[in-house]
Structure 1
Amino acid sequence: MQDNAAASSNLVDYVTSCTLPTPWAQFTLHAFVEHATGKEHLAMTLGDLSTGEPPLMRIHSECLTGDVMFSQRCDCGAQLEGALKKIAAEGRGILLYLRQEGRGIGLVNKIRAYRLQEAGADTVEANLQLGFHADARNYELVRPMLQHFGIEAVRLMTNNPRKIDALTRLGFDVAERVPLLVNRNAFNNGYLNTKQAKLGHMMTPAAEPVLDGEL
C-alpha cells in the first residue's frame, strides 16, 4: 500500500479550493490537475471529513450531455443531482468529479456512439464498434484525491460493482453501498437495462418505472 500510495501521489496536484453555494447546501469545491493529461478534476465536500467515520461519497464521471444539457438518454445528470442532495441531507460527504466523458472515450466519440445507438446498437456494442472497451474509465486518480482529505473508508453511492472493486483494489474500505436509482424514462430504459445485463450494474431495488405515455 505504501509503494502504491507513493506512486499515486504523483498523479495529481491539489491546486485550490473555494465555497460553492448550490440549491441544496454550500459545498467546498476543490481543484486538482492530472499530471499526465493536464485535465482538471474536482471534489465537492461538505462537513467535517476528519472524524474517521466513512463519509457518503459519489465518484461521478463527467457527462456533459447529461450533467449540463439535461439529456434523458442516460441517468448521469439525475445521479449527480441526487448524490448532491443526499450529501446535503446528511450534512457530510464528498463527490469526486472526474473528467472521463463517455465512459472514458471522450465527448466526440460519445456522440459517435450515440449515432450507432440510433442505428440499433446498444451502449456496449456502440463502444466496441468504435474500437473501445465497453467501459474505459480509470479510477487511479481517486486514491490521491481521497488521501488529500485523509479518507480511508467510504459509503459509496453507486450501482456499478466496478467502482466498488476499484476502490477496494486501491486500498479503501467500502463500508456500505448506497443505491442511486433515478430517472428511468422512455429514452434511457434500454440503456439502463444494458448496464444491468452487460455491465453488471445493480439495479435493485427497482428503478423508477416508465409511466404510460412518458416521453
Structure 2
Amino acid sequence: MKFEISNQAHLPTKFGDFWVKSFREFIPNQDTPLEHLVVYSKELGQTPLVRIHSECLTGDVFGSKKCDCGNELALAMQQIAQNKPDGGMLVYLRQEGRGIGLFNKINAYHLQDQGFDTVEANEKLGFPSDMRNYDIIKEIFKHFDITQINLLTNNPKKISALSPYAKVVRHSIITPTNPHNENYLTIKKQKMGHLL
C-alpha cells in the first residue's frame, strides 16, 4: 500500500483539544488519492476509544436527518474528549456514501425518495450495499503504535475488518432516531446486521 502522512497540527474543537494528521492513500488505477483525517488526543493510552467514521457530507456538515452519521460523529468526538486517561482517536475515512461517492449517493437519495431503501438504491445503481475498505487502518494503527482499542461502532463488519490490526472491544454508539431515519436504521439492522 502506498501512502503519505502529513505533519501533526493542533486542532481545538467545540468538543475539546485534539491533534490531527492526514493520511494520503494512493489507490491503484485511481488518479486522485484519498485523504483521510485522524483526530486524536494528545496522550493516547494503552486502550484508546476509537471511532472509524466514513465521510457523510450531508449528515456531518449539513445535518441531514436521513441518517445518523452527523449525530454519531458528534457523540464520538464528545466521548473521546472525555475518555480519561486513555484518550482516543477518530479516523475520518473519505468513503462517501458507503464508498460509492457523493454523486452516486445523491442518485441513491433520489431512488430513496421513490421508495427504495438504502441497500436497494445502491444495488439499483449497480453497486454493492457497502463498498468501504479499511486497509489504511492497519497503517494508521501501526503509526500510532495501537494494538488494542475500545471501538465505537454498531457495525459487525467493521469489527471483523479491524480485528486483524488490533484487539477490539466493541462499544455501541446510539443516537436519537427521527421520522426521517427510522427506516434507514431498520434497514441497517435487518439487511446489514448492525447491532442496534
With the shorter chain as reference, the TM-score category is: over 0.9
Q: Is the 8 A contact 1:127 1:134 kept in 2?
A: yes
Sequence identity of aligned pairs in percent? Answer: 47
Paired residue secondary structure (1:138): coil
Counterpart CA distance in 1 for 2:10 and 2:176 is 29
* 2:144 equivalent to 1:153: no
Structure-2-length-normalised TM-score: 0.94
Give 1:117's aligned residue.
112
Paired residue secondary structure (1:141): helix
* 2:29 equivalent to 1:33: no
Counterpart CA distance in 2 for 1:171 and 1:97 is 17
Please point out which of 11, 32, 36 is paired with 1:20: 11
Offset of residue 21 of structure 1: 0.7
**Code of the aligned partner of 2:74:** E
Paired residue secondary structure (1:96): strand
Structure-1-length-normalised TM-score: 0.86
Offset of residue 47 of structure 1: 3.6
Counterpart CA distance in 2 for 1:45 and 1:171 is 18
> May I ask how many residue pairs the two structures share in their alignment?
190
**Code of the aligned partner of 1:102:** G
Runs of 5+ consecutive residues of structure 2 not aligned to the other structure = none
For residues 1-215 of structure 1, the aligned pairs below 5 Å read 10-36=1-27, 37-49=32-44, 51=45, 53-91=46-84, 92-168=87-163, 170-174=164-168, 176-203=169-196
Counterpart CA distance in 1 for 2:190 and 2:131 is 18
Offset of residue 15 of structure 1: 1.4
Paired residue secondary structure (2:40): strand
Paired residue secondary structure (1:43): strand
**Code of the aligned partner of 1:166:** A
Paired residue secondary structure (1:71): coil
**Code of the aligned partner of 2:47:** P
Deviations 1:39-86 (A, max 9, x none): 21110001422x4x2110000000000000110000000000000000
Runs of 5+ consecutive residues of structure 1 not aligned to the other structure = 1-9, 204-215
Counterpart CA distance in 1 for 2:23 and 2:194 is 29
Offset of residue 171 of structure 1: 3.2
**Code of the aligned partner of 2:158:** K
Offset of residue 183 of structure 1: 2.8
Deviates more, 1:75-84 or 1:37-46: 37-46
